[in-house]
Amino acid sequence: MADPFDAALDLLRRLPPSSTQQNLSNLISLRPDLEEDLLSSVDVALTSKRCKKTGRDFLCCDYNRDGTSYRSPWSNEFEPPIEPEDAADLIPGGRVRRMEEAVNAGVDVYRELYYEGGVSSAYLWALDEGFAGVVLFKKTAAGVGKGGWDSIHVLEVTEAAGKRSAHYKLTSTVILDLGLSSAAVDSLELAGNLTRQTQSDLQLGLRDSEVEQSHVVNIGRMVEDMETRMRNLLQEVYFGKAKDVVGDLRSIQPLSEVGREREAHKDVINKMGR
Amino acid sequence: MSSKSSTVASFVEAAPPGELSNVVADIKALSPNEVSSLGPAFQKYNEEQYATIKIPGSSEATASGAQSHPLESPHADTIKSLQKSFSAAASEHFPSSTIGIYPNDSNSSIAILLVANKYSPQNFWNGRWRSTYHLTPSNNSVTGSIKVDVHYYEDGNVRMSTSRKVELSSSSADGIVREIAKAENKFQEELNRAFTTLAEGSFKGLRRQLPVTRQKVEWEKIGGYRLGQDIGGGRSK
C-alpha cells in the first residue's frame, strides 16, 4: 500500500490547482495525522497582512506563522502578539536578523524592478550549520483578464568551516493563476504551479565582514536566476504546451487536407532525391 | 453521506482526464474504508466526462453520458443519418474521437455527443475535448457547449479548462453537422487568440522578463538603487 503522505501529495498534483486550498483542508479532515507534514510541504497562494507598526504589507506563510499569528519582517514582531517565551524562540536576532533585514531591503528593490508593484517578504531562521530562509513575492494583475503570481523560494544555507564559502539549496514554487472571460471564449482558466530545485556552492569573500553581505548577494542572485528560468518555463507550459495539446485533440485544418499535403510534401522530397 | 465519503467523492469528480485510476489509488492509500462508497461518484464522473465503453460484439467505442436506448424513437431515421454524417465530420478534425447520438426520454430532442482524449502520462500531460449538442428536430436548432481540459503535471500541476456555449441552426440535419464543424473551428481559433491575449496581457503584467533597465540586478550595489530614478523609471506617471 502506498504511503498516505505520498498519496496526498500525488492527489494534490492531480486535482485542479485552483482548488488546492480547499483540497488541502479536505485532506487534513480526512487524515488529521498528516496535517503538519502537509501544511509544511504544500504551497498555497500567499496572503498579505498590514504591519500595524510600520503600515507596510507583508506576506504570510508557514515559516512566519505561530498558531494564528504572523511575524512582520518590518517590525520583527508577531501580530497578534504571542507568549514572550515563544517569541524568544521564534524571533530572530543577531546576525540572522541583520541578514533578514538586508535580504528584505534587496528583495524590495528587485521587486520594484521586476514586478513594478506587488508585495515581497523574506524570513530567515538559524540552523545548526548555517541558516534557512524563504523569499516571497505576490503580484495581482489588473487589465485584460485576471492574473495572480505567487512565488515561494525556500533556501537552505550550509556554511563551510571558516565561512569562506557556503552551499545553497533552493526550492522554488511559482503559483500562476490566469483567467479570461470574453464574448469569444466564455471562460478560459489557466491555473497551476511549478516547482524546481537548484543547488550551488558560492564564495563568501575573504574577510569576515564580507560574509553577511555575500550571503545577501548570493541569495538575491540565485532567486533572480531561478525566477527568470521559471518565468520562461511557465510561458512554455501555459501558452505553448496547453495550446499544443488542444491542437493534438482537434485539428482546425481538415485531416484529409493535412494528409494530402503530407503526401505532396513527400512527393517533392522524393523527386528532389532522384 | 458522511463527510468523509463526500470528500472522497469530490476528489473523484475532479479527477483530470485520463487520471481517474491514479486518483482512486490515492484515495485507497488515504482512506481505504471510503472506497466502497464511490459508486455514485464514478457514475457521475463517467456521465459528465463521457467515459467511453465498448459494447460487447462491437469494434468501436461509444460515449456514455446519455443512456442509449434501443432505437424506438420517431427520429430513428434522423439519428441514423446523423450517426453517419457526424462520424464522418468528426474524423475530419479529430485524429481520435468517440461519438454518440441519442434521443432524449421524451423524444423532443436528440443529443449529439463527442469526446476526444489524448493521454501522454509518460510526458506528464493529458487532454480531453467534449462537445455536447442538443438538436430540436422540429426546427433543426441546436444548443450546446464545447469543453476542453488539459492537465500538465511534470514537477507541478497546471490545468487549463475552457468552455464555450454554442447556438446554431440549419435547414437540415446534415447542415447541422457542417455548422457544428464551423462553430468548433471558430471556437478553436478564438481559443488560440485568447492564449495570446493572456500571454501578452496578464502574464506580462505580473513579472517582467528583465527590469526596465534591461539589465539584471546588481546585487553588490543593491543599496545604491534610488527609488523613482533607477526603479520604475519606465513607468508612465
Residues in chain B: 237
User: DSSP H helical segments within chain B, as ranges?
Assistant: 3-13, 20-30, 39-48, 76-93, 173-198, 204-206
Helices A94-115 and A211-235: crossing angle in degrees, nearest 10, is 40
Instruction: Quote the cell numbers at residue B205.
Output: 503584467
DSSP character at residue A63: G
* pLDDT (0 to 100) of residue B207: 95
Task: Give the nearest chain B residue to A150 (CA atoms).
Answer: B206
- Has residue A143 got a pLDDT over 70? no
Is a pLDDT exceeding 60 seen at residue B59? no
pLDDT value at position A274?
Answer: 67
Can you name the residues that pair with B157 across neighbouring β-strands? A193
pLDDT digits (tens, 9 = 90+) for A44-73: 999 999 999 999 999 999 999 999 999 999
Report the relative pairing of strands A47-50 and B141-152 from DSSP bridges. Answer: unpaired
Instruction: Please tell me the predicted confidence (pLDDT) of residue A167.
Output: 97
Q: How many other β-carbons are positioned within 10 Å of the β-carbon of residue B24? A: 18
Q: Using DSSP, state whether B171 is helix, strand or coil.
A: coil
Q: Mutation test of the interface with chain A: which of B8, B94, B117, B207, choosing the one with the most A Cβ atoms within 10 A?
A: B207
Task: Answer yes or no: is pLDDT of B23 > 60.
Answer: yes
Are the beta carbons of A13 and B31 separated by less than 8 Å? no
pLDDT at A249 > cutoff 50? yes
List % helix, strand, coil for chain B (3-state, nearest 5).
Answer: 40, 25, 30
Q: How close, in Å, is residue A88 to chain B by CA atoms?
A: 30
Task: Give Dmax over CA atoms of chain A in angstroms.
Answer: 87
Contacts 24+ apart (CB under 8 A), B78-82: B78/B110, B78/B137, B78/B173, B79/B103, B79/B110, B81/B173, B81/B174, B82/B110, B82/B112, B82/B135, B82/B173, B82/B176, B82/B177
B216 contacts chain A (CB < 8 A):
yes
| pLDDT at A183 (0 to 100) | 74
Distance, CA of A30 to CA of A146 (rounded, Å): 32
The SS3 of residue B57 is coil
Exposure string over A225-258, b if 16+ CB within 10 A, otherwise e: ebbbebbebbeebbbebbbebbebbbbeeeeeee
- Give A-chain residues touching B163 at CB under 8 angstroms: 186-187
**Predicted confidence (pLDDT) per residue in B125-136, tens digit:** 999 999 999 999
Q: At what angle do helices B3-13 and B20-30 cross, to 10 degrees?
A: 160
d(CA B68, CA A199): 57
Give the span between the Cα atoms of A238 and B152, in whole angstroms.
9
Q: What is the phi/psi pair of residue B165, to 5°?
A: -80, 145
Q: Which residues of A108-132 are buried (b: 16+ CB within 10 A; e: fewer)?
A: bbbbbbbbbebbbbbbbbeeeebbb
Average pLDDT of span A222-228:
98
Q: Round to whole Å and give the CA distance between B195 and A179.
A: 10
The DSSP output letter for B200 is: I
Q: Which residues of B touch A7 (CB under 8 A)?
A: 25-30
Q: Which three cell numbers stand for residue B173?
A: 440535419
Partner-chain contact A26 B153, CB within 8 Å: no
Task: Report the chain B residue with the minimal C-alpha distance to residue A212.
Answer: B220
Longest CA pairwise span in chain B (Å): 82
pTM of the model: 0.90
Give the pLDDT score at B74: 83
All residues of chain B having their beta carbon less than 8 Å from the beta carbon of residue A182 are: 194
End-to-end CA distance of chain B: 58
B66 has pLDDT over 60: no
Decide: B83 and B60 in contact? Cβ < 8 Å: no
Which CATH fold would you assign to the domain A93-248? Answer: Aspartate Aminotransferase, domain 1 (3.90.1150)
Q: Do B116 and A249 touch (CB under 8 A)?
A: yes
Q: Taking 80 as the threshold, does the pLDDT of residue A184 lie above it? A: no
Confidence of residue B76 (pLDDT cuts 50, 70, 90): confident
Q: How confident is the model at residue B138 (pLDDT cuts 50, 70, 90)?
A: confident
Where helices occur in chain A by DSSP H, the ranges are 4-14, 20-30, 35-41, 84-90, 94-115, 211-235, 242-249, 255-273
B78 vs chain A: nearest CA distance in angstroms?
25
Check A249 against B31: CB less than 8 A apart: no
Q: What is the mean pLDDT of chain B?
A: 87
Q: Is 60 exceeded by the pLDDT of residue B73?
A: yes
Band of pLDDT at residue B107, cut at 50, 70 and 90 = confident
CB-CB contact of A132 with A154 (8 Å): yes
Residue B236 has pLDDT above 50, yes or no: no
